[in-house]
Every structure is written in structure tokens, then in C-alpha cells.
Amino acid sequence: MTPLDKIKNLLDGTVDPENLEDDLELYEMAESIYGRDALEEMGVEAPERPSESIAQPNGDSKHEVQMPTNPISVAPPNVESGGGRNGVVFFLTLFLTALILTNTSIGFGSVLPLCDSPNSETICEDKLVLSEITDYQSPDSWTEPLQLDLVDGILLAILTILMVFSLRKK
């Protein structure tokens, strides 16, 4: 009986159980079609499988490929922490938070004389009011240090939340 006839008989359901016990490939086909339980109910025992390697045909070519029976372990991917976009967000928010805290505690006016011009009689304070930053040369845009405005508080809260979320792991 040719291998093609054996496969036809297997698909028709007229295969002899002894043929299945003798032919490993035919048994594997029957197992995938009918299931192991159905074959056991028919009294068909699985043929011995080779333990070293399995010869499998490689497409339509004439040569065979030896496949190892033991699975090859794959190393887990390297996980880098603190890099990438999260690191950029963290350092940007840290820098902006430091700027706002510096302005609130000692003031930009003590470091950079942005408002006081040499010919002006109006003296500016040290802390720049962030809501009036567009008109920074006006004396109304400056206040005493250590005064926390609503804009300062909101910006500090948002930057702190962004900084905390940039530290979490993916």
C-alpha cells in the first residue's frame, strides 16, 4: 500500500489500527485528526518516538532537517530602566520645578536685574510673578520672595505629578 493510499484510508476512517501502530507519521496524523482519546478507545497504541532528533522534510526539497527534541531556551530581553522618554520627562520636570522654587524662595530679581533700569526711580522686588511674565519690566510683575501665588502652586503640583509618573516602570 502506498503512503497516499494510507492517508486516504485514514481520512475515510477505514485505516487498519495495526498500520497506525507501525507508522509514526500516520499515527501523528490520526492523532491530530481524531484525537488521542479516540485512538485509545480503538485500542491503538502510540508507536515509539525517537528520542534524539526528529527528521522532518523541508518543503519540496530532497534533503531533511534534523530538529532537536529539547526546546532551546530564549534569554529574557534586557530591560533598561530610567532611559528613554521617561528620563527626559523626569529631568525636564525636575529642572522646571527647581526654577519655580528658586523664583519663589530667593527670586529671579536677586540674580538677574531684569526690571531695574539705571535711570528708573521705581524699584522692583525680587520674585517674578509668573502670571505677569509677559510684562516683566513692569514693577507690578514683581513681588516679595517667599510668597506662593496660585499659578506657582498649580505649576508645582502639575510638575510634581509628571515627575512621579515619569518614575514608574512600564
Residues in Cβ contact with 19 at an 8 Å cutoff, skipping those fewer than 6 apart? 1, 6, 9, 26
Cβ contacts of 41 within 8 Å, gap of 6 or more: none
CA 39 to chain CA centroid, Å, is: 45
Predicted TM-score of the model (pTM): 0.45
Res. 82: pLDDT tops 50: no
pLDDT at 78: 59
pLDDT value, residue 69 = 67
Tens-place pLDDT, residues 35-62: 888 878 888 777 776 665 555 555 566 6
